[in-house]
Amino acid sequence: MYVAVKGGEKAIDNAHRLMGQTRRGDPAVAPLTLQQIEQQMPLAVARVMTEGSLYDPELAALAIKQAAGDLIEAIFLLRAYRTTLPRLAETQPLETTRMTVSRRISATFKDLPGGQVLGPTFDYSHRLLDFALAAEGPDTPPPAAPEGSPPEVADQPMPRVLSLLADEGLIQREPPGDPEARVGDITRQPVDYPAERDVRLQSLARADEGWLLGLAYSSQRGYGNSHPFAGEIRQGTVAVEIVPDELGFAIEIGDITLSECEMINQFNGSKTEPPQFTRGYGLAFGLAERKVMAMALVDRSLRAEELGEDIAAPAQDQEFVLAHADNVEASGFVQHLKLPHYVDFQGELATIRALRREQAEAAAGKDETP
Amino acid sequence: MTMPAPTRASTPTSEGYNFAYLDEQTKRMIRRAILKAVAIPGYQVPFAGREMPLPYGWGTGGIQVTAAVIGPKDVLKVIDQGADDTTNAVSIRRFFARTAGVATTEATREATLIQTRHRIPELPLNERQILVYQVPIPEPLRWMEPRETETRKMHALEEYGVMHVKLYEDIARFGRIATSYNYPVRVDGRYLMSPSPTPKFDNPKMDRMAALQLFGAGREKRIYAVPPYTEVKSLDFDDHPFEVQSWDQPCALCGATDSYLDEVITDDRGGRMFVCSDTDHCRRRRDAQEEAAQ
Amino acid sequence: MTAAAHLLPGFADPVTDSQAVFRATLEALSRPGTVLEVPAALAPPAPLSPAAGAVLLTLADLDTPLWLAPGSGSEAVIEWLAFHCGCPRVADPGHAALAVAARPGGTLALDIFTPGSPTRPEGSTTLLLEVDDLAGGPPLTLAGPGIDGTARLAPAGLPEGFAESWRANRALFPQGIDVILTAGRHLAGLPRTTTLKEG
C-alpha cells in the first residue's frame, strides 16, 4: 500500500545539519575567522557589501563564512538583515572629489593635475600562480614597500577629469536636479518604468556584477553605440556626513572605501544639443573596479532615450536591464524550479495525453505507441 | 529626519524580531496595498516588497501578505501542491509559528488563514476564512507582452484581445485550449487576472467564493485580491466552453472521484497510481470511511 | 507643560491593536454592508470618533498625506495625529491619500478627492466619513463585489446628495475613491465597486 512521503520537518533539520557540516569542512582544520575573511578577501567583502547594499565589512565577512563562500547567498543574507534595520538618518551626498585617493587613473590624458596613481591593482600582474602564497605561514613577513616608494595615498588635490572637460564645454552638463526632491529608493518604492536616473543608478549599484559585465561587453561589441573611454577611475576613502536635526550642520560619522568610474562617450549631438561627450557613472563600495566600469557603461547605454538615440540593443532597454539585474531575485526565481510543481505538471501531463489521444484517433489506421 | 522608534510586539516572539517578522511601517504599507487591492478586484497593486529571510520564489509575496494580515487569534494552515507536509509548506508554517506564535493546523475547516501554493483546498471555504496565494508572475499578459509599461496600458484600456487570440491559436492548432494551469480569468467583468499556477481544475472554486482571496507576488512586488462573492470567469469561447481536468480513475487512497489527483510512479515498468493532491481532504474522507466501517 | 504631557495616548498595544483594527477594516471593505465594532480601546481627541482614530493609527504614517475637512480636526486632533502617525497634512484634498470628513452636514462633493489615474487607480484617496450612526438612517441597498446578492445599510447623517455623488464615483471605475464610514466605535466600508440604491 502506498503511503505519501512524510517527515518534512525532520528532512529540513537534517538538511541544515548536513549543510553546516559541508560549510565547516574538515573539523581538524582551524575555522576561518571573520577577521581573516575581512582582511584577506577584501574584494569578496566589497562585492557582498555593494550588492547587499550595506557597508559593514564585518557582517559581510560573516555572511561569506555562513554562505560557505557563495557570494550571491552572502549578498542575500546581508540584504535580509538590512531590511530589518531602522533608518536613523540620511547622509549628505558623498563628495568623491574630496576622496583620499589610493588609486586614480585616466585613460584619456597622459598626465593631468594630481597625476596618474596606479595604486593597488591586478592590471599588470602576470597571471602565474604564486606558489609562495601556498607556503605562506603565520611568520611570513608581509610585502613591504621598497625605499623611495611614493606615498600610499596621494597627497595633492585631484580635480576630476570630467570637470576639466566640462570647463571647456565639451561634455554634457548634468541637469542641476531639484535639491528639494527626494532621491528615489527602490527598497522603499517599487520601480515604476520608465525609471529616472537616480532609480536606475541605485538598481545598477545593487545589480549583479556578472550581469552588468555581460551587458557592458555587449555594448562594446556593437549591441548599442557606446564608443567609451575610461575618463577616470578612482578608489579611496570618503567621509560620510549627516546633519542631525538638533545641530543643523553636518558632522562626520566615518569613512568608507569606494570605487568610482566616470566613462566618457562620444555623442554626435541632436537637434537641440551640439556634438559633445556624454557621461556614464559607476560607484561601488570597496575595491570593485570591474563593477564600476561595467556599471558606467550600462548607465550610459540606458541614457539612450534621454539623448534621443534609438533603443535597439538589450543594454539600452531599461526594463530588460533593470528588471533582471538583481541576483537575489534572479537566483530565487531560477532556483524555485526545484520546489515541487507536481500539480501543474500533472495538468500538463493530462493535456499532452489528451492531445496525443485525439491525434491518434484522428490519424485513423495508424498506431500510436505511447 | 529622525524616525519613530520601532515598536516591538507585546507577544513574545523569537530572536528579537517584531510580531510576524515585518516591522510595523512595512505592515502598514502592505495593509494599505491590500485594502486598495480589495477595492479594485483583480488589479495588481504595486507595493514596496521587502527582502524576506526566505528566497524569492519560495513564497515571499504570500508570506508578506500573511504577515500583514495575521493576528494572535488566527489559526494558520499552509499548503504547497495541496499538501501540508511538503517541505516548503512545513518551512513557512514554522516561520509563522516562530515569529508570530500563532496556532497552526492541517485541517482546512479549522483554519482562519490559509496560505497556498498551486492549489485551492477541495473543501469549500467559508466567510471566516482568508486564502492567501503565493504568486510567481502576477501579470497574465506577461508571456504575450514582456513589458510592464505596455501591460499596464493594456489593463487601463481593457485591451485583452491578445489573450483571446492566444487561446484561439491553441484551438486552431490543437482543437482545444492547451493551457492547463495558470488559466486566465476575468474578475467582476473587468480585470484580466492570473489565478497563480493553480490547475484550471481549481478555477471554478474562485468564482463567488465566500472567503476573501488575497494574492502576493514578492519578487514582482504586486498584491491583488478577489473580494468574497465576486464573479471570477475563466476565459473561453462559445464553441469551446471552459472545462476542467478529469481522471479515469478515483483516488487510490480514499476513492474520491471529484478531487484533483497527483500521479505517483510506483515502479519503472509503467506502474502508477493516482492520489488526492489535497492531503487534508483525502485524510478526512478516509477517517470518515473508517468510522463508518466500525 | 510639554506637548506630550497633555497628549492623549494611542493604542495600548500598537502591534496587536493595529492588526485587529486592520482586520476589521479589511472585513468592512471586503464585505460592504457589514457593520463592525473597532476591536481596540481608544479615546482620540474630539471630534474624532474612536473608530476613525483607530483606522488612522492603523493606516496613516509618513507616506500618507492626510486632509482634514473643515470642522473635522481640532488642534488636539492635529497634534495627536502628528505625534502618533507623523503623517503630513495637505491643504488640497486632491493630494490626499487619506482624508477625514466629520459629520460634514450640508454637502460633501466626492470629486474634490483624487480618483487615481487609469494606469494607477490605487492612487485614489481613502475617505473616512464620520456619520452620526451606522444604523437608524434612511435605508440603502448595496450590491457589488463582497456582497452575496444585496446588503442593507442605514447610516444616519450622510452628507446631502451622497447617493448621487457616489453614483458618479462608481461610474469612474476602476478609478474612484473608497470610503470608510465611521460612527462612535463602529465602521463600515464602501469600496468604489459598491452600488447604492436608496430604499
Reported as a single tens digit per residue, the pLDDT across B225-240 is 999 999 999 999 999 9
| CA–CA separation, C177 and B39 (whole Å) | 9
What's the mean pLDDT when you consider all of chain A?
90
Mean pLDDT across A278-301: 97
Cell numbers of B193, please? 487576472
Domain containing C111 equals: 5-198
Q: Give the range among A120-124, B41-45, B203-207, C127-131 with minimum mean pLDDT.
A: A120-124
Whether residue B38 contacts residue B225, with contact meaning beta carbons closer than 8 Å, is answered with: yes
* Peptide bond between residue C47 and the one before it cis (omega within 30 degrees of 0): yes
Q: What is the pLDDT of residues A194-206, one digit of tens each?
A: 999 999 999 999 9
Would you mind telling me the total number of residues written for chain C in this entry?
199
Mean pLDDT across B130-139: 97
Q: Do B149 and A80 touch (CB under 8 A)?
A: no
Q: Cell numbers 538583515 label which residue?
A: A81
A113 and A48 assigned to the same domain = no
Residue A128 has pLDDT above 80, yes or no: yes
Query: A352 to chain B: nearest residue by CA?
Result: B178
The separation between CA C31 and the C-alpha centre of its own chain, rounded to angstroms, equals 15
Known active-site residue B255: no
In C21-154, where do the E strands start and end? Answer: 36-37, 66-68, 98-102, 126-130, 140-143, 151-153
Q: What percent of chain C has pLDDT over 90?
A: 87
Give contacts of C121 with chain B, Cβ < 8 Å. 40, 43
Residue C1 has pLDDT above 60, yes or no: no
Number of domains forming the structure of chain A:
2
Residue A174 has pLDDT above 90, yes or no: no
B118 vs A113, more confident: B118
What's the mean pLDDT when you consider all of chain B?
92
SS3 content of chain A, % helix, strand, coil (to 5): 40, 15, 45
A239 and A300 assigned to the same domain = yes
Instruction: Please tell us whether the domain made up of B7-140+180-234 is placed in CATH 3.40.50.11310.
Output: yes
At B185, the pLDDT band (50, 70, 90 cuts) reads: very high
Sorted by where each begins, the domain ranges of chain B are 7-140+180-234, 246-294
Q: Please report whether residue A26 resides in a domain.
A: yes
At C4, the pLDDT band (50, 70, 90 cuts) reads: low
Q: Do B176 and A347 touch (CB under 8 A)?
A: no
Mean pLDDT across B62-90: 95
Residue C128 has pLDDT above 90, yes or no: yes
Q: Determine the pLDDT at residue C124.
A: 98
Q: Determine the pLDDT at residue A153.
A: 67
What is the DSSP-derived secondary structure letter of residue B222?
Answer: E
Residue A152 has pLDDT above 70, yes or no: no
Residue type for position B42 = G
Return the SS3 of B202: helix
Q: Determine the pLDDT at residue C2.
A: 47
Q: Please report whether residue A351 resides in a domain.
A: no
Whether residue C101 contacts residue C128, with contact meaning beta carbons closer than 8 Å, is answered with: yes
Residue type for position C46 = A
Residue type for position C170 = R
A209 and A322 assigned to the same domain = yes
Domain CATH for C78: 3.40.50.11310
Which chains contact C through at least 3 pairs of Cβ atoms less than 8 Å apart? B
A66 and A196 assigned to the same domain = no
A77 and A105 assigned to the same domain = no
A240 and A207 assigned to the same domain = yes
Number of domains forming the structure of chain C:
1
A203 and A275 assigned to the same domain = yes
Mean pLDDT across A119-124: 92
Q: Do B57 and A332 touch (CB under 8 A)?
A: yes
Mean pLDDT across B92-120: 95
Return the SS3 of B292: helix
| CA–CA separation, A197 and A194 (whole Å) | 10
A206 and A282 assigned to the same domain = yes
Residue A16 has pLDDT above 70, yes or no: yes
Q: Determine the pLDDT at residue B15.
A: 59
A110 and A236 assigned to the same domain = yes
Residue A85 has pLDDT above 90, yes or no: no
Return the SS3 of B150: helix
Q: Cell numbers 481532504 label which residue?
A: B281
A21 and A167 assigned to the same domain = no
Q: Determine the pLDDT at residue C104.
A: 65
Q: Determine the pLDDT at residue A46.
A: 98
CA torsion C133→C89→A250→A46, rounded to 10°?
Answer: 70
A77 and A201 assigned to the same domain = no
Cell numbers of A132, please? 609562495
Give contacts of A339 with chain B, Cβ < 8 Å. 57-58, 80, 88, 117
Whether residue C189 contacts residue C28, with contact meaning beta carbons closer than 8 Å, is answered with: yes
Q: Give the range among A56-70, A149-163, B202-216, C47-61 with minimum mean pLDDT.
A: A149-163
A63 and A112 assigned to the same domain = no
Known active-site residue B42: yes
CA distance B230 to chain A (A): 25
Domain containing A278 equals: 96-119+157-174+187-330
DSSP alpha helix (H) spans, chain A: 8-24, 34-40, 42-52, 57-66, 71-82, 131-134, 161-167, 197-206, 209-220, 289-301, 318-323, 327-335, 342-362
Q: Do C18 and B35 touch (CB under 8 A)?
A: no
